[in-house]
Structure 1
Amino acid sequence: MTVTHSIARRADVPTPEEVVDRWRLAVRDRLLSVDLRPTGPAECFGSVQERDLGDLLITDWVCPQLEGIRGSGVARRDDDALVLFAASAGRQIIETPDETVVLRPGTVLLMSTRATGRFLTPQHVTKRTIKVPLAALAPFDTGASVPGCLLLETARSPLANLVQDFLARMDSHVGRMSAVEVEGARNAVLVLIASLIRAGQADLGNSDVLPLFRRQLEQWIDDHLADGAIRIADLAAAHNVAPRTVQRAFESTGDTVGSIVRARRLAAARRDLVNTNNPIAGIAHWWGFCDASHFGREFRREFSMSPGDYREAYGLA
């Protein structure tokens, strides 16, 4: 379903401050929390068009001139997710503690919701974003880690070009898709994004052995999700290494064994909710949650819906 919200100033929005508040809420709900302020006139403040694929939030933006500041305190409040940005007109400048990148036509930007920095739109920009929960991306091979900030040029990256073309062509079909087709398109988008991450890592010349070991650890976790609790000691013993080596493999990207196991369990449970009629309590037990209540709390925290509501909205069985 496609939903369009105009954020242009109207008679019932008498002040620019209220227009900014509407925009701030839209950005928070669809992307991440940012302290926004306009740097141009607020009388024509853009629009937001939503078209989602299950838990992937796809949004088209017509953005005005504005500036956003995102500190570490704000970043900690947001869900763990990855956001893909692609602009079709205008430009936006993103300044992180480590680098400055420019989102413009011909580029694709991947950014973690844990990233901090300054967002500046010196002129109106038209862009598309996809917000991907990390639990949704967990079953797909992203290589060593999810990037904090990665900019790809479509002129140099055929895969980035393919992603843009795929998303553009999907527009004319998404409203007519069946539930099965929506799930297939969702997974295709996730495969493309995971491949973009791996391609970006290859471009950076990542040859460290630790990322390769990390991939082995995550594969072991996937293979043993239904076997009960997974502890650092289990991973260390299975790979004949010290527990500290296991911890280092996850700490290099700011993760823990617990956070990765949680994401994998939620992703597996989501698949069962969508593709089977198994009782929710049974799914919770199978994938290692204490009970249905514990599963419900964790699922709602990640996907902003209860397991039952998610099955009703996206279930295929």
Structure 2
Amino acid sequence: MIPAHPQQGSFSAWLADLQRTCGNFDSCPLPGDAPFQGSVNKRVAGSLEVAEITTNAQRIVRQRPCSDREEDRYCFLVVQRQGRSRIIQQGRYVDMLPGEMALMDSARDCEILPQGFIEHSSFHLPRDAVIERFSNRRVPFGKLSTGNASGQILQLIVNRVVSRQLSSPITQEDGIGLRDSLLSLLAPTCRQESDAVMEEHGAELYRCAQQLIEQRLQDEGLTPTFLAEQLHISVRQLYRLFENHGDSVCRYVQRQRLERCAEALSDPSRARHSITEIAYHWGFSDSAHFSRAFKKAHGMSPRDYRRYHSLH
């Protein structure tokens, strides 16, 4: 008799949730006594469905289903939020780093190979609408580039959704608008095999670091060590990535946090939130330090900044 996996119950529940949320996937946990970790949640932003998946499973597989299955009506816009993974489809593979995005066709075989613990966000987009955006050709598989304006806008929308930075509630009309915006930006950002030149690895890592920072700005644990671990590089390599752009990791993180705080302070709908609450929400743990940094960046104190924008 084959002994049951020690976390088999937890893994089975996770797999059932994955199948209910994303369709006809199968999976297997790590061999031996390695404890299983995983969760599956589904968010609905208006009419836009987003699956949030964490796991340390050994592999996740989807066999080619029947074409008339209801669950095959989607394509998956996958965002690698944490860890690394390899995604295989159509005889090709892409290696995903934190912050990167890829497009997958639900009607084709695919395989996801996590390299340790991973976190994915998967946007469910209508397959027929995706095909239409590619002039009725088959849905291409591959990474989505952020090297052009369309890719940067796509990344911005995705980051705001996965990090829950959008104002709530998100209406049905908002969801349709988000979905249509994502669809319109897919074709210009999807990397084709005919791309003449691949971006240099250093530039790619730098963009991944920026996107990971964008997604984790609210976390107090957003440190150079954390970023380096997620990108699977040394802390020194991380410092060098930003130094090559005339910047530093800590200054970049602080600028992004100050910008989010400025947005919140100038937003009338957030007037009920205190300045300290806003600062803490965006990762500052010292209100005095926040006030000094904000005044240096914006030329006035947070209180004066909020008062000025309330009058204009």
Give the TM-score of the pair, scaled to structure 2. 0.51
* Matching residue's letter, 1:119: I
Q: Does 1:190 align with 2:180?
A: yes
**CA displacement at 1:199 relative to structure 2:** 4.1
In structure 1, C-alpha distance between the alignment counterparts of 2:105 and 2:83, rounded to whole Å? 22
In structure 2, C-alpha distance between the alignment counterparts of 1:202 and 1:122, rounded to whole Å? 25
* Matching residue's letter, 1:195: L
Residue matched to 1:115: 108
**CA displacement at 1:148 relative to structure 2:** 4.2
Match of 1:96 among 83, 89, 93: 89
Distance 1:84 1:178, change over 3 A: closer
8 Å Cα contact 2:160/2:166 also seen in 1: no
List alignment gaps of at least 5 residues for structure 2. 196-312
Residue matched to 2:42: 50
**CA displacement at 1:124 relative to structure 2:** 0.9
Residue matched to 1:59: 51
In structure 1, C-alpha distance between the alignment counterparts of 2:81 and 2:100, rounded to whole Å? 9
Residue matched to 2:216: none
Match of 1:147 among 128, 136, 139: 139
In structure 2, C-alpha distance between the alignment counterparts of 1:149 and 1:193, rounded to whole Å? 15
In structure 1, C-alpha distance between the alignment counterparts of 2:80 and 2:154, rounded to whole Å? 13
Match of 1:23 among 14, 36, 44: 14
8 Å Cα contact 2:48/2:175 also seen in 1: no
In structure 1, C-alpha distance between the alignment counterparts of 2:89 and 2:22, rounded to whole Å? 17
8 Å Cα contact 2:77/2:103 also seen in 1: yes
8 Å Cα contact 1:34/1:74 also seen in 2: no
8 Å Cα contact 1:86/1:128 also seen in 2: yes
**CA displacement at 1:103 relative to structure 2:** 2.2
Give the TM-score of the pair, scaled to structure 1. 0.50
Residue matched to 1:37: 28
Residue matched to 2:262: none
Q: How does 1:122-133 map to 2 (within 5 A)?
A: 122-133=115-126
Task: Give the share of equivalent positions with the same residue, in percent.
Answer: 16
Q: Does 1:163 align with 2:154?
A: yes
Distance 1:43 1:132, change over 3 A: same
**CA displacement at 1:116 relative to structure 2:** 0.5
**CA displacement at 1:81 relative to structure 2:** 1.1
Distance 1:169 1:93, change over 3 A: same
**CA displacement at 1:68 relative to structure 2:** 2.0
* Matching residue's letter, 1:187: G
8 Å Cα contact 2:131/2:138 also seen in 1: no
Distance 1:29 1:54, change over 3 A: farther
Residue matched to 1:277: none
**CA displacement at 1:202 relative to structure 2:** 7.5
8 Å Cα contact 1:30/1:131 also seen in 2: no
Distance 1:79 1:16, change over 3 A: same
In structure 2, C-alpha distance between the alignment counterparts of 1:71 and 1:64, rounded to whole Å? 20
**CA displacement at 1:130 relative to structure 2:** 0.6
In structure 2, C-alpha distance between the alignment counterparts of 1:152 and 1:191, rounded to whole Å? 15
**CA displacement at 1:33 relative to structure 2:** 1.5
Distance 1:75 1:160, change over 3 A: farther
Pairs aligned (count): 188
In structure 1, C-alpha distance between the alignment counterparts of 2:73 and 2:194, rounded to whole Å? 24
Residue matched to 1:177: 169
Q: Does 1:68 align with 2:60?
A: yes
Q: How does 1:128-277 map to 2 (within 5 A)?
A: 128-134=121-127, 137=129, 141-154=133-146, 156-170=147-161, 171-172=163-164, 176-177=168-169, 179=171, 182-200=172-190, 204=194
8 Å Cα contact 2:19/2:25 also seen in 1: yes
Query: For each residue in 1:188-215, what CA deviation from the matched residue of structure 2 results, as whole angstroms up to 9, or x when unmatched?
Result: 332223321244378847xxxxxxxxxx
Query: For each residue in 1:287-306, what CA deviation from the matched residue of structure 2 results, as whole angstroms up to 9, or x when unmatched?
Result: xxxxxxxxxxxxxxxxxxxx
Distance 1:115 1:148, change over 3 A: farther
Distance 1:190 1:140, change over 3 A: farther
* Matching residue's letter, 1:32: G
Residue matched to 1:249: none
